[in-house]
Amino acid sequence: MLRSLSPRRRPAASALLIAAAALTGSLAPATPAAAVTDSANSVVRVSAAGHGSALTSTPASTPASTPAPDMAGVVAALNNAMANGAPGAMARYSGPEGARSRTVGVMNRETGAPMDIHARFRIGSVSKTFSTVVLLQLVDEGRLDLDAPVNSLVPGLLPDDRITVRHLLTHRSGLADYTDKMFEHTVPGFESVRNRVFSYQELVDLSLAEPRTTEPGVTYRYSNTNFVVVGMIIEELTGRPVADAYERRIFKPLKLRGTSYVHPDTRIAGRHARGYLHPDEEGSPLVDSTEQTVSWAQSAGAVISTPADLNTFMSALMRGRLLSPAMLEAMTTVTPTDTTGTRFYGLGLRRYDLSCGTQVYGHTGTVQGFYTYAFATRDGRRSLAALANTSNHGAANTALGGTLEAAFCGPRPTTGEVPRARAASPGTGTVNRSATDHAAERDLPERG
């Protein structure tokens, strides 16, 4: 279900190219150099220390209201993720100026192969946004209602008839997250499920064996169980595996050639980044967690993609190419997830309010060995996808999140007070702490 862009949503054809920013970086461990590309065929090589030089560039400008992406700041954030335990990291920005990408470190510790912007990787909970799009398309088609009780769609599944589809998509069902207990001990928990194949029902049963976290509709409590149930609903309504729905409704229409739903095969086909899991014990060696069934997640986290495909998906979603205006409005209607006044959740979609006032929509993703950020502005004109090939090390996750500020807010002021993030109530003029001052939100339990 691919919708044409309305004239008012089409990007301006006269958007000008901007020059490649000179790169600076710090805190980076010694790594092989990597080549990356900008728009207008401008090539930048990022050295072991993160410094770079533009071999070719095309001067241009951007509208005054839209800051140029601070690619030096993006590299600094990638290097910071490495300094906090990631073997490598990468980011790709796409905007009216074209696409710009940066890579640092390695995607394979054994071979020393440098991080590759074209490499595929596990996107973890960014999969939830794909699942949400499929379900909302079914709502658009009149196959279900957002406020329908789950038990009316999958009879007898849940012990509470009050839990609705909307409660699942907003993480307000009260269903316990089975991964809390499953990964209480990170590496042993992972190894116990690495090659295991679960049914959806088995995962739901693990959740129902735990106490409920809240009454339906009351409080936001992130739970992977919600999106396991979403997968069950999709399969119940379509009579086909979720893989088929992703492929027919999103992957093929958007030509996402590097994106696939892989379950229960353990391999990542083609050129890919390897993922490295930090054990709970400080100083213990990293665990290569690349090969796994991801059966413990399925429709909550088993999609594999690339930075370019994630840029395409998030931009297309925000520009109304996948959903009706009513469903996109519902998806982007958000409520706070914490007390920082900068984080919100809609339907399978996060909103972050950045320090410059820009609001970006997307999702974070954590799966063993991989952290992912995939976000776009509400008009879909600018998007960023970033990866660090590690997990269970929250400092690396938080550091990677710094790519959002750099890409969407431009260079930070060198003098004067640093801009503050907007508060929870848009338009009130109240301010809160900087959007980069607090830890990244977690999609899985973490000890590091």
Catalytic center residues: 125
CA dihedral 117, 445, 126, 144 (to 10 degrees): 170
| Cα 409-415-418 angle, rounded to 5 deg | 45
Phi, psi values for residue 130, rounded to 5°: -60, -45
Residue 405 corresponds to which amino acid? Answer: E
Cβ 391 vs Cβ 365: under 8 Å: no
Contact between 135 and 179 under an 8 Å Cβ cutoff? The reply is no
Report d(CA 278, CA 351) in Å as an integer: 28
Residue 10, burial from CB neighbour count under 10 angstroms (0-12, 13-18, 19+): exposed
Distance CA 43, CA 425 (A): 42
Q: Number of helices and strands (H, E) in the chain?
A: 12, 17
Dihedral angle sign, alpha carbons of residues 132, 137, 142, 143 = negative
What Cα–Cα distance (Å) separates residue 323 from each residue in 132, 139, 439? 10, 10, 32
Chain-centre distance of CA 236, in angstroms? 26
Q: Which of 384, 382, 359, 381 is nearest to 373 (CA)?
A: 384
Q: How far apart (Å, rounded) are the C-alpha atoms in residues 330 and 347? A: 7
Measured in degrees and rounded to the nearest 5, phi and psi for residue 344 equal -145, 160
